[in-house]
Amino acid sequence: MNLFDFFNFFSSAHNEKRPEDAALCGRSMVEMLGVLAIIGVLSIGAMASYAKAMMKYKLNKQAEALNLLINNALINLKEFGFKQNSTTEHHETLYKLGLIPDGITYQNKRLYDNFGTQIRVYTQSTQDSTYNYGIALYRLDTYAQTEVCRNIAIIAKENHANLKFLTSYDNETQDHYGTIYGDNYCTSKVKCLKNLTLNDIDKLCGEHTDIFYITWD
């Protein structure tokens, strides 16, 4: 055997794959694909859990901010001036007094929560000196509109002792849906905030709802 033949023999012998090596490589590929599949499933589950946790966090922040705004308005609105037989908005006054809580943004003389829901804080009076104080929340077509709606109803229920009513309104038909009353207006003939059920909330959050009114006097 000359030197050239020797190197050819050595190279072919070195590169030859044994049957047991081929089988080992096959198992490694299957195992790798299995690991990748497991990682994919875990990643999807983690992303879903994260999105759910973030939604719950945003809803909790909205509830906290809106609850504080309602209480600030309950305490202070009666001290603010208003015009007879008209509706007066108090966003700028609340802002200047530092009464807009974190989680609610004051922009262009309007208020917005962390979901982009527009909020109006107002006093409504008539010629006979009757008046209502209120907060209006304008429902937006967002991915979380149902959850936000339920949050608003639950917040109103928590403040049932101080409120006149919670109602939902359809801009197109100008109809009110599911008016639910606070303690001072609660009778056996009407629905009461303190007794608000999940079924009542679902009706309030129907597809025709455009505005929610939370009022007191």
Name the residue among 133, 109, 129, 113 with its Cα closest to residue 121: 133
Is the separation of the CB atoms in 129 and 84 below 8 Å?
yes
Instruction: Give the residues of the chain that fall short of pLDDT 70.
Output: 1-27, 45-46, 127-130, 140-143, 170-177, 206-209
Amino acid at 74: L
Question: What pLDDT does 128 receive?
Answer: 65
What is the 8-class DSSP label of residue 126?
-
User: In DSSP terms, which residues pair with 167 in a beta bridge?
Assistant: 213
pTM: 0.72
Question: What pLDDT does 10 receive?
Answer: 47
Domains in the chain with CATH codes:
59-216 (3.30.1690.10)
| Exposed/middle/buried for residue 168 (C-beta within 10 Å: 0-12, 13-18, 19+) | buried
Question: What pLDDT does 68 receive?
Answer: 94
Question: What pLDDT does 36 receive?
Answer: 73
Question: What pLDDT does 195 receive?
Answer: 93
Question: What pLDDT does 7 receive?
Answer: 46
Question: What pLDDT does 101 receive?
Answer: 94
Torsion angle of C-alpha atoms 166, 170, 173, 175, degrees rounded to 10? -10
* Other CB atoms within 10 Å distance of the CB of residue 105: 14
| Three-class SS state of 102 | coil
How far apart (Å, rounded) are the C-alpha atoms in residues 43 and 53?
A: 15
